[in-house]
């Protein structure tokens, strides 16, 4: 797990404990709890996992096992503008890989990374179900459809990207 420890805000920890209580501190609700926890903290660092383990009375290793199993959970903070590319099949055959390359090139990030200034993060998703708009890119909640590599720069500019 992460070397340097993060200090969690007290109020957020209380919020997390309340979530666990809402689910009756039931270990069977672990995934639901983690969904809510990621909603509160934006990601699931070791410290959050420890609180969850404590509250649900299960080993931290078990929580860690679940967090790392599911791609929806992340232990790295996402950027202010999280960029997700669909790399589902429909998007792939319509050129999603070339769009991804362009994002990687411009942001100098690899998939799963967050920029040093915390502004952008780059991730891949498997099919958001908008295959008619392939290739699909999500920035936060906003969807961009039929994206071509030469539109990437324009999209990034909307979020204050400068070369």
Task: Check binding of 143 to other proteins (CB under 8 A).
Answer: yes
Q: How many CB atoms within 10 Å of residue 74?
A: 20
Task: Check binding of 147 to ligand FES (CB under 6 A).
Answer: no
Q: At what angle do helices 46-56 and 30-41 cross, to 10 degrees?
A: 140
- Residue 115: both structure tokens together: 């920029």
Task: Check binding of 32 to other proteins (CB under 8 A).
Answer: yes
Nearer to other proteins, 119 or 127 (CB): 127
Tell me how far apart the alpha carbons of residues 99 and 46 are, in angstroms, rounded to a whole number. 33
Question: Mask 85-104, x = binds ligand FES (CB under 6 A)?
Answer: -x-xxxx-------------
- In this chain, which of 20, 37, 134, 137 binds ligand FES, going by CB under 6 A? 134
* Coil, strand or helix at 159: coil
CB of 101 to other proteins, least distance (A): 11
For residue 135, say if its preceding peptide bond is cis, omega within 30 degrees of 0.
Answer: yes
Nearer to other proteins, 40 or 130 (CB): 130
Task: Check binding of 57 to other proteins (CB under 8 A).
Answer: no
65, 73 contact by CB (below 8 A): no
Task: Check binding of 149 to other proteins (CB under 8 A).
Answer: no
Task: Check binding of 28 to other proteins (CB under 8 A).
Answer: yes
77, 118 contact by CB (below 8 A): yes
Positions touching ligand FES (CB under 6 A) are 86, 88-91, 127-131, 134, 136
């Amino acid at each position: 797990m992460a070397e340097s420890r993060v200090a969690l805000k007290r109020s957020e920890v209380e919020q997390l404990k309340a979530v666990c209580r809402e689910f009756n501190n039931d270990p069977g609700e672990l995934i639901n709890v983690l969904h809510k926890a990621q909603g509160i903290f934006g990601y699931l660092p070791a410290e959050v996992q420890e609180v969850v383990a404590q509250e649900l009375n299960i080993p931290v290793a078990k929580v860690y096992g679940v967090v790392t199993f599911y791609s929806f959970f992340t232990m790295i903070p996402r950027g202010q503008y999280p960029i997700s590319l669909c790399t589902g099949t429909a998007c792939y055959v319509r050129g999603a890989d070339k769009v991804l390359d362009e994002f990687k090139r411009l942001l100098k990030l690899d998939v799963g990374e967050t920029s040093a200034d915390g502004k952008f993060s780059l991730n891949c998703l498997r099919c958001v179900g908008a295959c008619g708009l392939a290739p699909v890119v999500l920035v936060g909640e906003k969807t961009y459809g039929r994206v071509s590599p030469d539109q990437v720069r324009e999209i990034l500019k909307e979020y204050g990207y400068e070369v």
